[in-house]
Structures are given as structure tokens and as C-alpha cells.
Chain A
Amino acid sequence: DTAVSQTPKYLVTQMGNDKSIKCEQNLGHDTMYWYKQDSKKFLKIMFSYNNKELIINETVPNRFSPKSPDKAHLNLHINSLELGDSAVYFCASSNDRGRTNGYTFGSGTRLTVV
């Protein structure tokens, strides 16, 4: 019974394509996040949504567009994919901004752009 689930787990696509990654949490958390882990293993925040509202939007190209249809879902759509977008993308969720029990992460989506 997965708490934070991301699909797909692996995604290989060509440059210029548009792709989406889906994320769902069944923990009843009020905040969801997207993190990117690059080749240097650096986990960097991209977006955060609290109750369907965008609260964090770090310096991310506007080719990346998050969508939160409800507080249990936060999807990531990427337009015109570039080689540099290759990374592992992690979805996470939390209550209390993670101050009590941290974030709960999904298992990641490994995106490879060729």
C-alpha cells in the first residue's frame, strides 16, 4: 500500500518531446513537492503545493509546469525536453511543512532524454 506513488518509474524519450510524470499520495498530507536529483546527486526543490495552491516555485524553466487537481495529486508536465532534463525526479508529501516527520518521498522517476 504505497504512500507516495510516482508513475512511470523510468522514462526514456527524445529531445523536443513533451512528457508528464504523475504523483499521488494517500497519506492525507496537505503539501506536495517535486524535487530533482541531478547527476551530482544534488536533491533540489522545484515546486511545492499546499492544498492545491502553488507555494514554492524555484528557478525552474517554464517548460516545467506542475498541476495539482486535488491535494492528493501533483503532476509534473515537461515541454520540449532537453538533454539537461535527464535526472531522477522525486515527488514528496508532508504535513506541517515536514517539521514533525519530514517528507515522505516516492521512489523516483528516472528520466532519460536522448
Chain B
Amino acid sequence: DQQVKQNSPSLSVQEGRISILNCDYTNSMFDYFLWYKKYPAEGPTFLISISSIKDKNEDGRFTVFLNKSAKHLSLHIVPSQPGDSAVYFCAASALGNQFYFGTGTSLTVIP
């Protein structure tokens, strides 16, 4: 039973353009969300988070948007750079419990 879903397994974007990665969840109790970035043969690394009391969080080129009514969050990367090419996972947690991860979206930024 997958509570966090990333329906796009892959995405290709030109360098300098915006990358938008999407994530949907089913559990309305989720109140904290994370995005991770993963390079091959490495573990996921934490990128940015958002609490359910907010609808936006920004950190440099990365912005996460949360739409609680739609149970949807997205990660925007502007401008996209070749070094951003990686697999991106979203994760969600309810009330301090463990995080549930999506299956990831592989982003390729084309120079």
C-alpha cells in the first residue's frame, strides 16, 4: 500500500529552464514532507522540507509547494543545472512517525 506516489518515473529538462517534480499522497495525517536527491551508488541526501502549516518553502534554487486539499506537493528547481541530474524522492511523515518514500523521479538536465 503505497501512501506516497511519484507518478512520473523520469523527466528531461533543458539547462536553465524550470524543473517541476510532483508527488501525491493519500494519508491526510501526513504533516511533514521532505525531498531527497540521490546520485547513483550513493544514499539519498536531504534537500528541502515543508511542514503542513506552510504552503511554500524556498531554499536557493529549490522551492517546495504544498497543496493540502489536493494532497499534492511539488519541487521546483530554477534554473536547472546539469549537476541537478539525479533521482528525486519525496517523503512524508505523520505526527513524528517514520517517513514514507515515493518511488522517485529521475531528472535529466540537458546542457
Contacts and interface: CB of A to CB of B under 8 A. Distances in A.
Contacts, number: 59
B30 to A, nearest CB: 12
Nearest to B100: A45
A98 B86 CA distance: 22
Contacts of A33: 98
Contacts of A35: 101
Contacts of B98: 33, 45, 48, 56, 97
Interface string A27-61: 00000010100001111110010000000100000
A98 B91 CA distance: 11
Interface residues of B, number: 23
Interface of A: 4, 33, 35, 40-45, 48, 56, 90, 92, 97-99, 101-108
Interface of B: 2, 32, 34, 36, 41-46, 49, 87, 89, 91, 93, 96-101, 103-104
17 contacts: A35-B101, A41-B103, A41-B104, A42-B101, A43-B89, A43-B91, A43-B103, A44-B101, A45-B99, A45-B100, A48-B98, A90-B43, A102-B49, A103-B46, A105-B36, A107-B41, A108-B43
